[in-house]
């Protein structure tokens, strides 16, 4: 459906790693990996493609007080908003999930399993999704002993080729009921539950100067496993920038839409953009 560039003259703008979009596809919240968020609105043309975007200036996420999150604890990556507006954010660095009654309010720490501390600091809880029951799902981009430099070779990021552990937060407790199956050299960076109830996982691979490739797979989530794996989208290397956040919704014609946002790593040589695809049966 198109790729719409985003730009703003603000030192906090950039590094967009998560996005949630309203049911009508017109309002969105985007999260940066610098501990900030912004709110936006889009207008669409007759075909439903994005014609223009307006955004607020980025606002720093608060800690448990009015003070912003500390620099060593503000690598925010995954964004999930419940039906009642409660916002959850997952982090790299200090791997954890924070809860906000309002995204501009005070943070509340969810309990963290000790296993979270073993994830690589720069490849921890990139993805976060919330299902219709209000249960959270998160998983690391990498596992201990892996190096992102392996992406340059196109080889699996984990030397042992292990699958990615999926963690579920339900009724106040974390459990690790199943794994996300590894398939090739792609690493998971974003997730969302679609209106069809399926879990959509955004994955990327990095090929150096050739750029990034993106893939979206979807699954049926059961009590003890993921099933019915489908590859929904796989882009050529370099077609888009570093897509990291995904929101899945249904448009007025009844089709599933994938709205994704790219992380420019606060670098001038990369670009920030919203990319949309329509999923057709």
Task: Write the DSSP symbol of residue 62.
Answer: B
Dump pLDDT digits (tens) for 49-68: 999 999 999 999 999 999 99
Q: Which two tokens stand for residue 196?
A: 């069809």
Residue 158 has pLDDT above 60, yes or no: no
- How many contiguous H segments (helices) and E segments (strands) does the chain have? 0, 21
What confidence tier does 146 reach under pLDDT thresholds 50, 70, 90?
low
Residue 168 has pLDDT above 60, yes or no: yes
Backbone angles phi, psi at 131, to 5 degrees: -95, -175
Q: Which two tokens stand for residue 106?
A: 């005070």
How would CATH label the architecture of 2-279?
5 Propeller (2.115)
The predicted structure's pLDDT at residue 156: 42
What's the CA gap between 11 and 138, in Å, rounded? 29
Q: Which long-range contacts (CB under 8 A, 24 or more apart) does 115-121 make?
A: 115/165, 115/167, 115/176, 118/144, 119/95, 119/143, 119/144, 120/144, 120/146, 121/92, 121/93, 121/95
Token pair 């719409």 in the structure block, residue = 4
Dump pLDDT digits (tens) for 86-133: 999 999 999 999 999 999 999 999 999 999 999 988 889 999 999 999
What confidence tier does 147 reach under pLDDT thresholds 50, 70, 90?
low
Q: Evaluate whether 194 touches 207 at the Cβ level (below 8 Å).
A: no
Total-model pTM? 0.93
């Amino acid at each position: 459906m198109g790729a719409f560039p985003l730009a703003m003259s603000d030192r906090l703008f950039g590094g967009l790693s998560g996005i949630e979009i309203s049911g009508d596809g017109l309002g969105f919240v985007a999260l940066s990996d610098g501990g900030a968020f912004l709110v936006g609105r889009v207008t669409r043309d007759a075909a439903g493609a994005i014609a223009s975007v307006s955004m607020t200036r980025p606002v720093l996420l608060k800690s448990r007080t009015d003070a912003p999150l500390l620099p060593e604890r503000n690598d925010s990556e995954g964004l999930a908003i419940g039906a009642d507006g409660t916002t959850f954010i997952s982090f790299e660095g200090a791997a954890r999930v924070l809860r906000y009654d309002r995204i501009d309010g005070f943070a509340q720490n969810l309990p963290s399993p000790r296993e979270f501390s073993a994830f690589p600091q720069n490849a921890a809880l990139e993805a976060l999704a919330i299902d219709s029951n209000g249960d959270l799902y998160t998983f690391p981009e990498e596992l201990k002993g892996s190096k992102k430099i392996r992406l340059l070779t196109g080889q699996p990021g984990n030397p042992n080729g292990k699958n990615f552990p999926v963690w579920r937060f339900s009724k106040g407790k974390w459990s690790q009921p199943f794994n996300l199956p590894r398939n090739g050299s792609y690493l998971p960076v974003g997730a969302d539950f679609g209106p069809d109830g399926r879990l959509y996982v955004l994955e990327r691979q990095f090929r150096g100067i050739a750029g990034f490739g993106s893939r979206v797979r979807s699954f049926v989530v059961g009590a003890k496993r993921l099933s019915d794996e489908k590859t929904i989208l796989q882009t050529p290397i370099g077609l888009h920038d570093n897509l990291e956040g995904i929101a899945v919704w249904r448009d007025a014609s009844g089709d599933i839409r994938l709205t994704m946002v790219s992380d420019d790593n606060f670098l001038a040589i990369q670009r920030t953009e919203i990319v949309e695809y329509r999923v057709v049966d």
